[in-house]
């Protein structure tokens, strides 16, 4: 199983409402794109200094399933519309679990 992890930090100009709608758009990916066996997304809980602001962890049966998700038109649309315009930085890893 492949675990896909992305941590997002948003531009300072991005307000709470915008962040929430981005997280909501990401949260719709399982129903709009699918292919994952597990999917969690949410805001940092504010427990530690210097953290990123949003995390996404999604599990896929294999690399091919992850590639279909990553290249899916709707996924690319959500990234273009709800993520890239507001992004300060993004860190990701895909690893076998």
Point out which residues bind a copy of itself (CB under 8 A).
Answer: 2-3, 5, 7, 9, 40, 42-45, 47-48, 50-55, 57, 63, 66-67, 70, 91-97
CB of 45 to a copy of itself, least distance (A): 5
Q: How far is it, in rounded angstroms, from Cα 61 to Cα 11?
A: 33
CB of 82 to a copy of itself, least distance (A): 18
Select 14 or 57, whichever has its Cβ closest to a copy of itself: 57
CB of 94 to a copy of itself, least distance (A): 5
Contact between 59 and 97 (Cβ < 8 Å):
yes
CB of 11 to a copy of itself, least distance (A): 16
Select 25 or 52, whichever has its Cβ closest to a copy of itself: 52
């Amino acid at each position: 199983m492949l675990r896909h992890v992305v941590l997002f930090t948003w531009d300072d100009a991005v307000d709470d409402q915008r962040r929430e709608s981005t997280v909501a758009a990401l949260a719709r990916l399982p129903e709009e794109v699918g292919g994952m066996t597990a999917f969690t997304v949410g805001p940092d809980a504010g427990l530690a200094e210097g953290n990123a602001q949003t995390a996404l962890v999604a599990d896929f049966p294999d690399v091919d399933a992850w590639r279909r998700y990553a290249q899916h038109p709707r996924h690319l649309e959500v990234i273009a519309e709800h993520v890239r315009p507001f992004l300060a930085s993004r860190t990701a890893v895909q690893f076998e679990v």
